[in-house]
Structure 1
């Protein structure tokens, strides 16, 4: 008898507003109770009963699922068996901790394993970025523990996401006209933030600003961001007029100003990863512009112009000396 006849789809659909799409791996060595840990929407890897209740059962290994239509142990074995077939990889650049590659994923993004048909359901012809870590064959437990901690709700990653969202919309790299040094770190602690592009839709400007809040407890956690963005996706009709209005303004503005071609990058503006060990930084605070945006949801320009920055740079260098 064909073994496939024994395999059935036993997954359960997951609504993101009720539970997360995939399980959370508990932070190694951490005893601090975070906001995420007390959230009923969170499902942990070790909670077998909740995994079974939320995601259903894998029709192949008969273990509780680890996500929507997902079994981590079964799929990990499939990935390992297929590594030898990975092709179309192009070297891009080297960072402080590894190398970055561009790849054409001809088979495409994996959505889930189709148990009944015994094949992946994919979104084909995807272009992806790959990163290899230096000395990855000799990773210590301390390094793995740190990576696990970083991958679980870190506020600095939320801040970085806000930076990337704004960079994508504005087509400008942050702080491109000044040196990336100790003086800039001080100004960021004192409330300096990149320009929020004036034609950014209000709903996205609000989200970006929350990610930049100086108080880490005020920033959204990863699951909240995911749920907020998914809500925007499924409620597009509600925000359609606002998105279309700003979309037309952005296109017109970019055409008239030719923004990308006019950007001049400072020679000491460094965007490759590196270790920064700045000391004696002030306690982080929000600028008045950030506070205004948070309270009144207005998109205000909170970056100083180059002349102001040069004056502040000089003052702070004199104070440091």
Structure 2
């Protein structure tokens, strides 16, 4: 029946109505609460955050947990870092409690799974401001439309690490490198729909991502589709008070011009970043890869520079992309509108896009892809104050 709520079986322990699959709000939260005495992060603020997520969980995959560092094996630095973090891969030996035992009607641990460990620099003294940010964003960390976040651990140097889902094809940059930038429209639209769904979730929570770029989109190619999820939601920025500032940081091609002009990042600036991801997938290369990412490029972007639409790009695609890249934030579409457009395209792809399953390639794309990436084209997040302070009257601290 339209509008009806899904109902679940009664709990075998307390006979109360379950609120989700194999999840009793009464018994399962009592179980988590009883386990509070068996773990500690060593930081009372982080302990309270994890407890808060567990006491307010609505289902079995809806909370963070503390994971002892000795639970991880085969830890490897994968040589990727952001402005305030570094990234490792590892195997979590127990795995999350995400496997449903249908007979017992309980969630059990999956066993060994590969994960990503995001190590936060200087997090031994995590600020209250960063903790507050985690409180605001934790529901996004536990949403299926975004990359999985299982919990928090601490390395031997006492730096805290977020335990995230592993995506075998890496981020969007590495995926494009792996595929030599040659994608069919079906895969492009499939990925963009997944990314827009995640962005819509963030915006529906009245939050912003603030640092959306190809390095923060993780990709996993599956048998009949490509899964692309936004990562790093709520985990961006410095974690200690000394580092917290009004300084702009990010990846220059994905930063909206109004942010360079000193305005706070908004939902609309997220949409600009999404538009640049649209261009990157259609072109098969990173934006402005042939230019140094310096103050001159910032000035050009603020003066209206945008990547040229690739010849052969369907009109409906280029129209939406250019709306996202509009210089006026108020003229950009919302995440919900973008998601609606992409879902409509998917439902009738052949009428909007020619040769949907044939790789989109032409001489213009081949020329772009054959160009060497400029040595000063930088695609990881970094402080940008020194790059733009000479152009705009912005005070940096």
Higher RCO (C-alpha under 8 Å, 6+ residues apart): 1
Task: Pick one of 355, 376, 394 that aligns with 1:268.
Answer: 376
* Contact preservation (8 Å) 2:88, 2:118: yes
Cα gap change, 1:163/1:87 in structure 2, threshold over 3 Å: closer, same or farther? farther
Alignment of 1:75-94 (within 5 A): 75=61, 77=63, 79-80=65-66, 85=71, 90-92=76-78, 93-94=80-81
Which residue in the other structure is 1:204 paired with? 317
Kindly state the Cα deviation for residue 265 of structure 1 after the two structures are TM-superposed: 1.3
Which secondary structure does the structure 2 equivalent of 1:185 belong to? helix
Say whether 1:6 aligns with 2:15.
yes
Task: Pick one of 181, 188, 200 that aligns with 2:301.
Answer: 188
Which residue in the other structure is 1:156 paired with? 269
Query: Residues of 2 paired with 1:195 and 1:170: CA distance?
Result: 9
Structure with greater Cα Rg: 1
* Contact preservation (8 Å) 1:61, 1:74: no
Task: Pick one of 122, 145, 157 that aligns with 1:135.
Answer: 122
Alignment of 1:194-273 (within 5 A): 194-229=307-342, 231-232=343-344, 236-245=346-355, 247-248=357-358, 250=360, 252-253=361-362, 257=366, 260=369, 262-273=370-381
Task: Pick one of 20, 25, 34 that aligns with 1:60.
Answer: 25
* Contact preservation (8 Å) 1:102, 1:129: yes
TM-score (norm 2): 0.44
* Contact preservation (8 Å) 1:199, 1:246: no
CA deviations 1:90-123 (Å, max 9, x no partner) are: 422223211134567999999998998222799x
Kindly state the Cα deviation for residue 227 of structure 1 after the two structures are TM-superposed: 4.3
Query: Residues of 2 paired with 1:169 and 1:189: CA distance?
Result: 23
Which residue in the other structure is 1:95 paired with? 82
Which runs of no fewer than 5 residues in structure 1 stay unpaired? Answer: 13-57, 64-69, 284-321
Query: Residues of 1 paired with 2:98 and 2:337: CA distance?
Result: 22
RMSD: 4.8
Kindly indicate which of the two structures has a greater share of residues assigned to helix. 1
Kindly state the Cα deviation for residue 223 of structure 1 after the two structures are TM-superposed: 4.0
- Report the number of matched residues: 226
Cα gap change, 1:240/1:266 in structure 2, threshold over 3 Å: closer, same or farther? same
TM-score (norm 1): 0.52
CA deviations 1:236-268 (Å, max 9, x no partner) are: 342234335255361x538993864x2211122
Which runs of no fewer than 5 residues in structure 2 stay unpaired? Answer: 1-10, 29-55, 137-206, 211-265
Kindly indicate which of the two structures has a greater share of residues assigned to strand. 2
Which residue in the other structure is 2:31 paired with? none
Q: Which piece of structure 1 moves more, 95-104 or 154-163?
A: 95-104
Cα gap change, 1:7/1:259 in structure 2, threshold over 3 Å: closer, same or farther? farther
* Contact preservation (8 Å) 1:190, 1:282: no
CA deviations 1:11-61 (Å, max 9, x no partner) are: 59xxxxxxxxxxxxxxxxxxxxxxxxxxxxxxxxxxxxxxxxxxxxx6324
